[in-house]
Amino acid sequence: MRLRFGSHQIELHPWSELAAEVQAFRLAAWPQANLGKATELLGQVIAEVRASDQGLLRILFASGWCLTAPPDDERSAWGVSVRFHEFLHVRPGGEVRVSGPREIRT
């Protein structure tokens, strides 16, 4: 699943969790699960994006919705691109990597 805003992008795989108040939905592209709930994010304002040292990505929306993507032991679970260049991603097992300044072009 990809969230695009301008020239920036957050890519999530293989699954994530969308939550608001007491409701939570597991979203997955394969096998498909609750993808219709992802439409709740259309037109939403992203208030905050955080990555923990353990590899958990948390995206908080101004509306109160929260999208989380945990690390995966077998593959990269998420990546954040800034101005069309990958800036931050999690490696299998949860190691968070930041691209160096030479790799990001304005």
Query: What is the Cα 21 distance to its own chain's centre?
Result: 19
- Residue entry with tokens 């995206």: 59
Is the pTM value of this prediction over 0.85?
no
At 28, list the tokens: 């997955």
Q: What pLDDT, in 10s, does the model give residues 16-60?
A: 999 988 889 988 877 888 888 888 888 889 999 999 999 999 999
Contact 60, 54 (CB under 8 A): no
Q: How far apart are the first and last CA of the chain?
A: 25
